[in-house]
C-alpha cells in the first residue's frame, strides 16, 4: 500500500511510504525538511513494522513546536493503517 501524507507544522512538506501486506515498511521518502536527519530516519524504518514505528515516534517534538517530522510520520502511519 502506498501512503502519501501532507504534513502540518513541520519543515517536511510530504511523506510517502510503501507498506506491504504484513505492515512492513518497504520504502520511506520525505519531501523537504532536513535531508540528513530524514534520510537517516528512512534508513532506520525500512524493514520495520509500521505500527511499531508509529508507537515509537508518536509525540516527538521539535524545538518549541507540538509536533515534528517523526511525529508527522507516526500520524501518517496511524491514519493509514
| Tens of pLDDT, residue by residue, the chain (81 residues) | 999 999 999 999 999 999 999 999 999 999 999 999 999 999 999 999 999 999 999 999 999 999 999 999 999 999 998
* Residue 16 β-bridge partners: 4, 29
CATH of the domain at 42: 3.30.390
Alpha helix locations (H) across 3-68? 35-45, 50-57
Give the residue numbers spanning the domain of 37: 2-80
Amino acid at each position: 500500500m502506498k501512503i502519501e501524507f501532507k504534513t502540518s507544522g513541520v519543515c517536511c512538506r510530504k511523506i510517502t511510504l510503501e507498506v506491504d501486506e504484513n505492515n512492513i515498511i518497504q520504502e520511506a521518502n520525505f519531501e523537504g525538511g532536513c535531508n540528513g536527519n530524514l534520510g537517516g530516519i528512512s534508513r532506520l524504518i525500512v524493514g520495520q513494522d509500521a505500527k511499531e514505528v508509529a508507537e515509537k515516534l508518536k509525540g516527538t517534538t521539535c524545538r518549541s513546536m507540538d509536533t515534528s517530522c517523526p511525529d508527522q510520520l507516526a500520524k501518517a502511519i496511524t491514519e493509514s493503517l
